[in-house]
Amino acid sequence: MTDLRRLLDHAERSAVPGGFGYLGDDGRVVRGRPLETWIVARMTHVLGLAQLLGRPGAGELVRHGVQALVDGALRDRQRGGWRATAEDDTKSAYVHAFVVLAGSTATAAGVPGGRDLLDDALEVWRTRFWDDTAGLPVEAWDRAWHRCEDYRGVNATMHGVEASLAAADALGNDRRAARLREQALRSTERVVHGWARERDWRLPEHFTSGWTPLPEYHRDEPAHPFRPYGVTIGHQFEWARLCLHLRAALSGPPGWLLDDAVALFDAAVERGWAADGPDGFPYTLDWDDRVVVGARMHWVLCEAIAAAAVLGQVTGEERYRTLAGRWRAHGEERFADPVTGSWHHELTPSGEVAAGTWAGQPDAYHLAQMLLLSQGRPVRGSLAASLR
């Protein structure tokens, strides 16, 4: 079985001057690839969870990540916010959501500088990304904050919900916590209880600036790593799980949060598992439930296992624990890499290592969270809160 300690060893090897680098198939940082804010932030978050678990040396690495995000080249100290990479000036909601998450976990872990990072990142999220009229975030800006991309997306929205719940937990009695949870509820209600439910649990991912669905978006680039065409199975599992974290974070949560989590999960299982024959979840389906991209992504399976584990914890139903165990065994057989201690990020439907969308083993975010969520801890708004 995949060992969390070995996975964290893998994560720690990503430390480089200025942050954390992208890891290749050999478990080493890929040379020549620029620093990427989403990788730096996600590794800071993972190592913050390790610090909460009491892992020796994790605190120093979290401080390294916090320092990189506060004072490093990725932060735009003149105009505010964080650039996508050291070579890309785009300022996206997806990236900033992970900066908020990193600051939240560092704060929860008591790491120096974590609260300052969280406060700064939340202010950028509030003033640049959160659209209070829509109850959803905008997608991306240029470096000077002059031009906002016309596109809107559910991926960034989803991670905004995750980050908002984590920030609310980290803030404690701060008055911003209630507002962040209310924003997370508004977004989830529009996405899950609105668009997904209205389409028989086929979640649209791509929208115009006015939040009109774009069902044909990226039909010509279906394997895009962040904006693939069609229904993304892994996101349906992720949203199902987030419904349950949100439910745990609210006092008097609406009943639809659990009902919709179950419906979204069940639809993803029924339509996704072995949809093209071989075991496993394909990356994407079209609107008639036919496989578009059959590659098996490690993160999709991780999110399926995590969602099943959390549903089992919340409902007490054995069927979810059975599925989580079955899928975990499949992951250990197919994805686990005994050399690095991590999982291969992409496989062909028949199980060979592939790189059509993801090369290497970039970070430990999905796998680390799955391993922790599978341990049966009480469900909270964030993983950091459950570890505390």
Residues catalogued as catalytic: 235, 366
Report the distance separating Cα 15 and Cα 29, nearest Å.
Answer: 8
Q: Which residues contact 295 (CB under 8 A, 6 or more apart)?
A: 223, 282, 283, 346, 347, 348, 349, 354, 356, 357
Residue 84 one-letter amino acid: A
Distances (CA, A) of 46 to 80, 134, 206: 25, 31, 28
- The per-residue DSSP string of 152-218 comes to EEHHHHHHHHHHHHHHHHHHTT-THHHHHHHHHHHHHIIIIIIIIHHTTS----EE-TT--B-TTTT
Which residues are within 8 A (CB) of 56 and not within 5 positions of it... i.e. 6 or more apart? none
CA 330/CA 325 separation, integer angstroms: 9
Q: Which residues contact 154 (CB under 8 A, 6 or more apart)?
A: 191, 203, 204, 205, 206, 207, 235
